[in-house]
Amino acid sequence: MSNATAATTHARAAGPVSAPVSYHAIAYLSAVTGLITIGLTWLGLSHALSFTADNPGLSRWLRGIAIGGTGLAALLMIFPVRALGHLRRADGLVARGDLVAARLPAWACRQQGLSGIGFGATLLVIVAFYVFLTTNNFAVQRAFLNPGYMVQSAPMVLAAAKLNLYITLAASVIILVLSLALALLRMIPGAAGRPIRWMVIAYVDFFRAVPTIIVIYLIGFGLPLTKIGFVSGWDGMWYAVLALSLSFSAYVTELFRSAIDSIHPSQIAAARSLGLTAVQAYAYVVVPQAFRRVIPPLLGFFVALQKDTALVLILGLSDIFGQAKYFAANFFNLSPVSVVGLFFFVITIPQTRFVDYLIDRQKRNAIR
């Protein structure tokens, strides 16, 4: 048997590219998935039409969605069609024994097939969500996403978000100052510093252990009860600020401390050997380096803080959630609360994206 025939025989068995699933399987699977997706999309999207026989205007809209969605599913067939084209070219090349040349179409076949499967699956998830919203005569959509209620409540609900903003800003400042101070106290060296270190550790442990909502409840209802002039009789917002600051500072203190710890000790040695005092070494060498490392996770905590301001509702404050709940109780419908969800979604996403970007950039710089 010549070398070429041996290679061809081998190729028929294994294919030009070694991979766990052959490109044939992927191409055929993507064709089958594509057809199933078209069918399921039509079934899922047209289901809602059965509830709107008496509403021709809405019916027209929904029919448009069903036809458009199914058309999109049909468009996705372009991937399996391309995959099958590449498959034929690859097989032709293999049959001629040109294994190296066959690699490219086999790879392309695999890519197109996988893309088809991926887009098809995504479309089906969206269709499933649509079915969930519309099923049982639009029960879910009516309960959560009633446009009328949403529009009606939105102005006052969004105006109430000002309170959440104030709480976030005030608490952020307190958290930054308190946490840096606690982290530095936590690092006081020597026997004399021990009781202070213990106190910080106890504080951090306590407030990381107790749920934030409990802290808010205890402080918000407890301190006014004490009737001690200094801590009772505050505006409700300030109890919320205090509680959130205490709770979050525990985490941020740990964050600062671990960042300071992560600076290599030889940096301190190098600074001290140049004659800098311990305080100078921390101020000019350790803390600036630690602060850079801490910025992304710190911003992450501030995103979490914004969201947790919604907890102050338990104190009966009219924050965004409190206001929405008031509307929801009146309408007997949850759509105003969905406005709250949307609000946090819209303000949080850019921030978390920004944090991710910073973390990525830091990783890239660390590798350089």
Partner 1 sequence: MADAFLTITALEKSYGAHKVLKGIDLSVNRHEVVCLIGASGSGKSTLLRCVNALERIDSGVIALDGDPVSGIGVDVNRLRRKVGMVFQSFNLFPHLSVIENVMLAPVKVNGLSRDEARERALKLLDRIGLSERAGYMPDQLSGGQQQRVAIIRCMAMDPQVLLLDEVTSALDPELVGEVLDILKDLAKSGMTMLLATHEMRFARDVATTVAFLHEGQLIEKGPPGQIFDSPQMEETQKFLRRALFVPG
Nearest residue (CB) to partner 1, 232 versus 273 = 273
Q: Report the residue from 12, 264, 361, 363 that binds partner 1 according to the rule CB under 8 A.
A: 264
Q: How far is CA 94 from CA 101, 106, 111, 152, in A?
A: 8, 10, 19, 66
Token pair recorded at residue 347? 């303000």
Nearest residue (CB) to partner 1, 62 versus 281 = 281
152 near partner 1, judged by CB under 8 A: no
Cα 261 to Cα 32: distance, rounded to the nearest angstrom: 56
Nearest residue (CB) to partner 1, 5 versus 280 = 280
The one segment of 9-17, 170-178, 240-248, 266-274 that binds partner 1 by CB under 8 A: 266-274
Residues with Cβ < 8 Å from 121, sequence gap 6 or more?
33
Q: How far is the CB of 288 from partner 1 (least distance, A)?
A: 5
Q: How far is the CB of 356 from partner 1 (least distance, A)?
A: 23
Q: How far is the CB of 266 from partner 1 (least distance, A)?
A: 4
Nearest residue (CB) to partner 1, 263 versus 314 = 263
Cα 45 to Cα 127: distance, rounded to the nearest angstrom: 7
Q: How far is the CB of 276 from partner 1 (least distance, A)?
A: 6
Nearest to residue 94, comparing CAs of 1, 20, 21, 22?
A: 22
Token pair recorded at residue 368? 């350089």
DSSP three-state, residue 217:
helix
Token pair recorded at residue 264? 């290599």
289 near partner 1, judged by CB under 8 A: yes
First vs last C-alpha separation in the chain: 53
270 near partner 1, judged by CB under 8 A: yes
57 near partner 1, judged by CB under 8 A: no
50 near partner 1, judged by CB under 8 A: no
Show contacts with partner 1 in window 180-209 (CB under 8 A). none
The one segment of 63-71, 160-168, 287-295, 312-320 that binds partner 1 by CB under 8 A: 287-295
361 near partner 1, judged by CB under 8 A: no
292 CB-side CA count, 13 A:
12
Q: Per residue in 206-238, is it b (16+ CB within 10 Å) or e — as a string?
A: ebeeeebeebbbebbeebbeeeeeeeeeeebbe
Nearest residue (CB) to partner 1, 10 versus 264 = 264
Nearest residue (CB) to partner 1, 215 versus 271 = 271
222 near partner 1, judged by CB under 8 A: no
Please name the amino acid found at residue 210. Answer: V
DSSP three-state, residue 228:
coil
DSSP three-state, residue 230:
coil
Q: How far is the CB of 125 from partner 1 (least distance, A)?
A: 44
Nearest to residue 240, comparing CAs of 343, 157, 310?
A: 310
Q: Given CA atoms 105, 39, 139, 132 in this order, what sign does their dihedral have?
A: negative
267 near partner 1, judged by CB under 8 A: yes
284 near partner 1, judged by CB under 8 A: yes
Q: How far is the CB of 298 from partner 1 (least distance, A)?
A: 17
Token pair recorded at residue 274? 């140049």
Nearest residue (CB) to partner 1, 260 versus 271 = 271
Q: Report the residue from 3, 266, 350, 364 that binds partner 1 according to the rule CB under 8 A.
A: 266
The residues that touch partner 1, with contacts defined as CB under 8 A, are 264, 266-267, 269-277, 280, 284-285, 288-289, 292, 368
